[in-house]
């Protein structure tokens, strides 16, 4: 089907094979388009893990110029946490009698089964915790998702699965965190242990938070100065995870309330800058080392919309229109999915030489993070406000920036 001519799909999931069947009825709204695209992306991960076939079926592919390493064959687990981090807000809306609500009911059941399989030692898709790096990364993103859907995900897990998850998270303490992003991965896991397991090693959280506090006192590139360090680590790790860690830390350590309030200002400012990066046709300059993070890189803007903390300079209609444009530009691109429906390195488009040699298919599932506003109900102003033109100040200067261009200045 030509996706540029698709009209609305009423999502009636039929559990026959690995496809989502649908019925065509009327003109497609932005929300229906987003939902279609999100489910097309996440369904292979969730469905295969729920059926114990993820390890067997996920493609471990890189760009044509990259050489696969032995470590690549266990990185499938990273796709799980990243998928949940974006899918969770929509799941948290729960079930109702609408078609979308009934669809959520099916996916909530699939997700809980998938999580159970991931920590069951007898399961073919058991995430062996000896793979420390993968467990650390997957756990941090998974906890981010559980924070976003505590009722529909965590509360619906059986007691044994909860116990196994907590023990797996504790296993990550064998890894000594290094720099900014690894500190926050470790701190996120400790926050998950506190909220879902009742205990944490606060020293790990304090080290991550205090280190970022010191970085913010520097030359301003992390959000205090005229220049702004706009890259993919800031976009999908630093600001979102720091904000989440601070939200937990301030509950138990009031001294971090001041830092949380200042980070909220940076977070909102960052969202405004992200909105300005999107060109009228949905393209935008690449931020950081890998273009395969392109949709996940807009997590801050998406999260600010979901949490109703957008900067006053942009409207919800602008943000929805801008994010819809980049979703269309990237997910309709030839090669985005392989013949079996898996998200692939095809997000690089025809420029395969731009593929990161260290990335495999699971890393691409960071793209699910752009769909956070689906956690807002269909009658929310984000979805009902008229679409508006967005700011489109390309890379601050207004100069044309071609698709897939690295910003190395």
Digitized pLDDT (tens) for each residue of the chain, 409 residues in all: 333 222 233 333 323 333 333 333 346 899 999 999 999 999 999 999 999 999 888 876 554 444 444 444 455 778 899 999 999 999 999 999 999 999 999 999 999 999 999 999 999 999 877 767 788 989 999 999 999 999 999 999 999 999 999 999 999 988 876 777 889 999 999 999 999 999 999 999 999 999 888 777 655 555 555 555 566 677 888 899 999 999 999 999 999 999 999 899 889 988 988 888 888 888 776 655 555 567 888 999 999 999 999 999 899 999 999 999 999 988 887 778 888 898 876 655 555 554 454 556 777 888 999 999 999 999 999 999 999 999 876 544 555 545 444 333 3
Domain that holds residue 119: 3-396
Assigned domain for 276 exists: yes
Assess if residue 34 is contained within a domain: yes
According to the model, what pLDDT value does residue 406 have?
A: 38
Report d(CA 193, CA 200) in Å as an integer. Answer: 6
Among 324, 332, 329, CA closest to 390: 324
- Asked if residue 127 belongs to a domain, the reply is yes
Total tally of structural domains belonging to the chain: 1
- Separation in Å, CA 347 to CA 223, 247, 356: 29, 33, 11
Residue 90 has what pLDDT?
98
Q: Is residue 380 part of a domain?
A: yes
pLDDT, residue 135, reads 87
Sequence-ordered strand ranges (E) for 27-94: none
In a domain, 296, yes or no: yes
Token pair for 327: 């979703």
Examine residue 388 and state whether it is found in any structural domain, yes or no: yes
Produce one character per residue of 119-149: b if its CB has 16 or more CB atoms within 10 Å, e if not: bbeeeebbbebebeebbbbbbbbbbbbbbbb
Q: Is residue 404 part of a domain?
A: no
Residues 107, 395: Cα–Cα separation, whole Å: 38
- pTM reported for the whole predicted model: 0.87
**Contact call for residues 124 and 55 (beta carbons, < 8 A):** yes
pLDDT for 224 equals 57
CATH number at residue 156: 1.50.10
Please report whether residue 100 resides in a domain: yes
Q: State residue 274's pLDDT score.
A: 86
| pLDDT attached to residue 346 | 61
By the 10 Å C-beta count (0-12 exposed, 13-18 middle, 19+ buried), 9 is classed as buried
Q: If you ran DSSP here, which 8-state letter would residue 235 be given? A: I
């Amino acid at each position: 089907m030509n996706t540029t001519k698709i009209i609305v799909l009423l999502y009636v999931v039929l559990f026959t094979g690995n496809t989502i069947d649908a019925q065509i009825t009327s003109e497609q709204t932005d929300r229906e388009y987003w939902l279609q695209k999100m489910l097309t992306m996440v369904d292979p991960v969730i469905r295969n893990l729920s059926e114990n076939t993820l390890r067997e079926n996920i493609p471990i592919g890189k760009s044509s110029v990259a050489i696969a390493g032995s470590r690549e064959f266990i990185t499938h687990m990273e796709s799980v946490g990243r998928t949940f981090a974006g899918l969770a807000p929509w799941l948290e809306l729960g079930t109702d009698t609408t078609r979308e609500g009934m669809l959520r009911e099916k996916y909530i059941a699939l997700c809980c089964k998938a999580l159970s399989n991931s920590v069951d030692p007898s399961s073919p898709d058991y995430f062996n915790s000896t793979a420390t790096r993968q467990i650390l990364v997957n756990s941090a993103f998974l906890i981010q998702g559980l924070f976003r859907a505590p009722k529909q995900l965590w509360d619906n897990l059986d007691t044994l699965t909860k116990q196994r998850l907590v023990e797996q998270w504790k296993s990550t303490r064998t890894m000594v965190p290094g720099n900014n992003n690894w500190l926050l991965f470790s701190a996120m896991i400790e926050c998950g242990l506190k909220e879902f397991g009742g205990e944490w090693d606060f020293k790990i959280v304090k080290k991550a938070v205090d280190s970022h506090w010191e970085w913010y006192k520097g030359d301003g590139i992390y959000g205090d100065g005229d220049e702004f360090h706009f890259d993919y680590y800031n976009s999908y790790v630093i600001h979102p995870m720091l904000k989440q860690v601070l939200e937990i830390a301030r509950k138990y350590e009031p001294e971090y309330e001041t830092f949380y309030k200042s980070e909220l200002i940076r977070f909102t400012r960052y969202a405004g800058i992200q909105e300005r990066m999107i060109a009228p046709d949905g393209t935008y300059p690449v931020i950081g080392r890998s273009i395969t993070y392109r949709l996940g890189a807009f997590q801050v803007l998406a999260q600010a919309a979901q949490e109703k903390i957008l900067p006053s300079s942009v409207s919800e209609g602008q943000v929805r229109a801008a994010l819809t444009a980049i979703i269309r530009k990237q997910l309709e691109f030839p090669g985005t999915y392989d013949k079996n429906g898996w998200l692939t390195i095809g997000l690089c488009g025809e420029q395969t030489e731009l593929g990161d040699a260290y990335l495999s298919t699971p890393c691409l599932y960071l793209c699910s993070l752009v769909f956070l506003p689906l956690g807002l109900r269909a009658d929310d102003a984000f979805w009902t406000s008229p679409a508006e033109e967005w700011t489109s100040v390309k890379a601050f200067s207004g100069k044309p920036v071609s698709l897939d261009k690295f910003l190395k200045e």
